[in-house]
């Protein structure tokens, strides 16, 4: 931690009851961030007595020129190389509030450090060099501020002495910056011209730039306000672990948003179980009284009134305003790895203490730093910015970044290597919770007396689900019915659940809206799981266009083997076949929400089997499926 001495601004890191403002200093290396901070502390008389003399003496011994940046650049490597490596935190205090200045590193090699520092900010100062146009790194930092969610921004055009205090040079760069910020959704409240080493317009107004009539840097900082307390959001607490203390099971975690009270009814997601809070647990020195409430920013333990299974990474909320449950989401990301990010890349994704495997389903667009615009792209380069669609291998309980700023951020890792990170959005996606949560409360699970092993011995094969997915016209029903006929005559207990057949009965009340499609597949998945639990081989033939709904069926199956079979054929091939005349009608607008035309189809990321009906005949396709099923359900003697 870096120091600043008492007076108008003083070091004061441990005053939790006071208002706190965090300001990030961002900008390219050598544009003067650390120098400005050092000069700011000096001009306010807030450095310890003798500090400047000590630094001057050190510089003389090393035979280097004195730099104001040395006031904050405490690391030996920083002084040796003249760059900020770590994100330095300077605690400041005045009668109104505590202020933390985060001096974020500007060099592109330390972009991770800049992001981690900026992630904590309420506001930002973007520092530019008056001699340069808006460089790539400054553009990147500006976009990262936008991505992280910082909306209070002031800009500083530093080193005005090196352009002879020229107003035209200032106006041109300020206009270029303003246009760029507007394109990415930011606005600079003020653009201050400064000379860092001399202190011009930092605390005192400069008489060398009398053409500038705006506020000084200190006055601009005074206009920033802390973000609203996270306690005002809905309750979110990610479970870190579950501990035993005698007979107690204490669920521990950190509250990222909202407030938790003794006796509250809570929902544990994604298991969708409810309970009441019996106690709040925290370490109390000298036997103090246990708390009755806890709020955002606090780590706490709690006990509940039911013996529920709770796992690390589960999300606790109140029973109203629940988090989103999904396998897929869209994210705005920054990519650190030297290896470009491409579609199909799998990595570990981390939301606080929740970790799971995830795969890039598609790259929506890559951000062009020079143009300040998004463009189509097939890969994201190192230090690149992009919007991508991510498919999680397990069901997630999450919130969009604008609803839970802390919980809506994530990292992408591979082992101990951090590959990137970003913020998520859930626009246009369906919440899987409504279909997954029972409305009846007074229900329980009844156990069968016949075991799965006994059914396997009786049938001579394992029960399993073989879920055929693909576009209309790809050949799902043809292959499913052909495989059923072949396997039945070989003595296997088998049945086909076909999408059209179920819509004549069980799902007759459903249409083709996104919500009805989800419910259609949920019902089909439940029926398939019941058949498979009874020891039968179940083949399904459903378009089932969404990755998340197919993953949910896999989750429904639980102990029953689930195999995703992709019946692949491109849209042109399917339209040429058009066995039911549906594509022609959809092209005329007679069928709304038709998959492949006016509704999306999400191809499997890692299908258990792919049957390409563009290359294979129907008989060969059926034989391929039959051989696969027989191998999967076979049991040894």
Residues in the chain: 637
C-alpha neighbours within 13 Å on the C-beta side of residue 614: 13
Catalytic residue among 392, 544, 548, 621: 544
Write out the H or E segment, with its range, that includes residue 257: strand 248-257
Structure-derived torsion over alpha carbons of residues 434, 435, 441, 442, reported in degrees to the nearest 10: 170
Please tell me the distance from the alpha carbon of residue 184 to that of residue 527, in angstroms, as a whole number.
48
Q: CA end-to-end span of the chain, whole Å?
A: 68
Q: Residue 152 forms beta bridges with which residues?
A: 123
Of the candidates 158, 251, 237, 243, the one whose C-alpha atom is nearest the C-alpha of residue 196 is 158
Instruction: Name the residue with tokens 């003496």.
Output: 57
Cα(144)–Cα(121) distance, integer angstroms: 12
CA distance 473 to 583: 9
Cα separation of 136 and 128, whole Å?
A: 11
Residues 320, 316: Cα–Cα separation, whole Å:
11
DSSP code of 70? G
> Residue 325, exposed/middle/buried by CB under 10 A (0-12, 13-18, 19+)?
buried
Count the alpha carbons within 13 Å of 239 in the hemisphere toward its beta carbon: 24
User: What radius of gyration, in Å, describes the C-alpha atoms of the chain?
Assistant: 30
Q: Alpha-carbon distance 409 to 424, whole Å?
A: 7
Q: Has 299 been annotated as catalytic? A: no
Phi and psi at 361, nearest 5°, equal -80, -40
Tell me which residues are annotated as active site.
544
């Amino acid at each position: 931690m870096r120091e600043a001495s008492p007076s108008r601004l003083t070091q004061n890191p441990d005053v939790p009851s006071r208002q706190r403002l965090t300001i990030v200093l961002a900008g390219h290396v050598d544009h003067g961030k650390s120098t400005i901070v050092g000069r700011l502390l000096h001009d306010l008389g807030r450095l310890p007595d003798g500090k400047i003399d000590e630094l001057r003496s050190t510089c003389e011994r090393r035979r280097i020129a004195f730099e104001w940046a040395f006031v904050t650049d405490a690391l030996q490597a920083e002084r040796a190389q003249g760059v900020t490596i770590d994100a330095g935190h300077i605690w400041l205090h005045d009668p109104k509030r505590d202020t933390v200045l985060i001096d974020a590193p500007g060099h592109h090699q330390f972009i991770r450090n800049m992001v981690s520092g900026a992630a904590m900010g309420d506001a930002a100062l973007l520092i530019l060099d008056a001699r340069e146009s808006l460089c790539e790194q400054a553009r990147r930092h500006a976009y990262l501020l936008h991505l992280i969610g910082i909306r209070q921004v002031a800009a500083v055009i530093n080193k005005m002495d090196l352009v002879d205090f020229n107003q035209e040079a200032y106006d041109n760069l300020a206009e270029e910056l303003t246009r760029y910020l507007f394109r990415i959704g930011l606005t600079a409240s003020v653009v201050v011209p400064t000379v860092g080493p001399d202190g011009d317009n930092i605390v005192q107004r400069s008489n060398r730039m009398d053409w500038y009539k705006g506020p000084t840097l200190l006055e601009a900082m005074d206009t920033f306000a802390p973000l609203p307390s996270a306690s005002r959001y809905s309750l979110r607490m990610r479970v870190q672990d579950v501990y035993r203390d005698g007979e107690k099971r204490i669920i521990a975690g950190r509250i990222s948003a909202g407030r938790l009270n003794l006796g509250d009814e809570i929902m544990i997601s994604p298991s969708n179980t409810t309970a009441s809070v019996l106690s709040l647990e925290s370490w109390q020195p000298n036997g103090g009284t246990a708390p009755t409430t806890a709020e955002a920013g606090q780590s706490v333990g709690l006990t509940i009134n039911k013996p529920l299974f709770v796992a690390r990474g589960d999300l606790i909320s109140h029973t109203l305003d629940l988090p989103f449950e999904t396998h897929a989401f869209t994210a705005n990301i920054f990519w650190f790895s030297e290896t470009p990010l491409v579609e199909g890349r799998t990595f570990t994704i981390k939301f606080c203490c929740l970790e799971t495997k995830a795969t890039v389903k598609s790259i929506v667009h890559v951000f062009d730093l020079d143009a300040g615009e998004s463009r189509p792209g097939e890969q994201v380069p190192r230090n690149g910015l992009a919007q991508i669609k991510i498919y999680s291998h397990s069901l997630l309980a999450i919130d969009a970044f604008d609803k839970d700023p802390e919980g809506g951020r994530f990292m992408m890792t591979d082992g101990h290597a951090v590959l990137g990170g970003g913020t998520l959005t859930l626009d246009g996606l369906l919440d899987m919770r409504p279909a997954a949560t029972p409305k009846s409360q007074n229900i329980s699970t009844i156990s069968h007396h016949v075991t799965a092993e006994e059914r396997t011995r009786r049938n001579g094969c394992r029960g399993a689900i073989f879920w055929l997915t693909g576009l209309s016209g790809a050949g799902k029903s043809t292959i499913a019915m052909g495989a059923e006929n072949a396997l039945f005559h070989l003595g296997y207990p088998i049945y086909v659940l076909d999408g059209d057949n179920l819509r004549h009965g069980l799902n007759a009340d459903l249409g083709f809206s996104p919500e009805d499609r989800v419910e259609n597949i949920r019902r089909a998945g439940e029926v398939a799981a019941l058949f498979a639990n009874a020891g039968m081989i179940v083949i399904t033939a459903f378009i089932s266009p969404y990755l998340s709904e197919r993953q949910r069926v896999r989750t429904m199956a639980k102990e029953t083997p689930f195999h995703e079979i992709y019946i692949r054929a491109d849209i042109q091939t399917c339209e040429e076949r058009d066995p039911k005349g549906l594509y022609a009608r959809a092209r005329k607008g007679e069928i709304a929400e038709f998959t492949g035309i006016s509704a999306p189809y999400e191809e499997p990321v890692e299908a258990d089997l792919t049957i390409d009906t563009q290359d294979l005949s129907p008989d060969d396709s059926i034989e391929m499926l039959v051989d696969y099923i027989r191998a999967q359900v076979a049991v040894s003697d």
